[in-house]
Amino acid sequence: MKKILITGSAGFIGFHLVNRFLKDDNFDIVGLDNINDYYDVNLKFSRLDQHGVNGRNMNDCDIYFSTKHHNYRFVKADIANFDFIVSFMKAECFDYVVNLAAQAGVRNSILNPRIYIDSNIKGFLSILEGAAQSNVQHLIYASTSSVYGSNTKMPFSIHQNVDHPLSLYAATKKSNELMAHTYSYLYGLPTTGLRFFTVYGPWGRPDMALFKFTSAILAGQPIEVFNNGKHRRDFTYINDIIEGIIRVIYKPAIGNPNWDGNLPDPGSSSAPWRLYNIGNSNPVDLMDYVSAVEKALGKKAKLKMLPLQPGDVPDTFADVRDLMEEFDYKPSTPVQIGITQFVDWYRSYFEL
């Protein structure tokens, strides 16, 4: 059996990735999460329940076996716990590691900057060191479309420089890409960074727009529409994100033989290090997105128009040509279908 570590497994994307691997008896799966209270921990506990793990009275750094799946274990731990993470990864000898554990949220990074350094910088160092010391075959990690920052040339390409982030969250994710390159160069560790574009879908995060819109509209409360509705977002359905991750896992990064230090390509390297965008590559106007939510709910929204928030990127648009060329894959779920799937889950989860 191949052995895989999925960090952030009680989170939105990590939860779905664990679900996908639980369908494959050829994998020994270990999930890891610190179950922090950035948003409602009961949602995280409910996700763990789906995996057969009761997360409500756990001790840090202990291992818990699933009551539903023979090939799944869960560890409650913080990736910033360097000594534990490195020793644990060395003891387990994982074939693959997917690091989805991170402190997310653009606006929260302005209010609470220190936790982003702890989780996204110190925590990622733990993962890199553990992977390097245990000869991991491929490390995949989450980056974000937020790294494009002040860039305005659309669509956003991995071959563009991204040196002007607009939030500390974005800066930490760009730092992850640089840190990964260092380990790929020094130790030959294959690393692949995936820049996710506005992920949404069932079991999503309460701090994201779709969750907030749905909750407010059903409660008859106004929804906050930033930049006076003039955002365009490359909304990407969760199943498309998971399929992209799966395809990338099985193809470890290799060095680009044509990489030239005189004209350095920001998206590849002579080291086994790569970056890819994973986005729907079909930006949607924010007001059209709101209309799609209204249609799925069968209820009109009350709008509270607000200015552009500090740290926000006005528009996102993913260039996914590299993903298509190397993995024969492109996300394709239409927004209306994805939103309907989320609304159906929301009504079921909250018993509405």
273-278 and 199-200 beta bridge pairing: unpaired
Q: What is the arrangement of strands in the sheet containing 27-33, beginning at the earlier edge strand? A: 63-65, 72-76, 27-33, 2-7, 96-99, 138-144, 191-196, 273-278
CB 122 within 8 A of CB 129: no
Query: Active site residue: 39, 72, 116, 169, which one?
Result: 169
Neighbours of 65 (CB within 10 A): 11
Rounded to whole angstroms, the Cα distance separating 334 from 348 reads 22
CB 293 within 8 A of CB 223: no
CB 124 within 8 A of CB 81: no
User: Residue 286: how many CA atoms within 13 Å on its side-chain side?
Assistant: 21
Rounded to whole angstroms, the Cα distance separating 44 from 27 reads 23
Active site residue 169: yes
Rounded to whole angstroms, the Cα distance separating 347 from 46 reads 15
The helix/strand/coil state of 268 is coil
Looking at 153-208, list the stretches that DSSP marks H as alpha helix, in order from N- to C-terminal side.
168-187
Q: Which of 295, 287, 281 is nearest to 337 (CA)?
A: 295
Amino acid occupying residue 14 = G
Tokens representing residue 230 in the block: 């003039």
Amino acid occupying residue 119 = S
Rounded to 10 deg, the angle between the 286-297 and 335-349 helix axes is 50
> Hey, which residues are catalytic here?
169
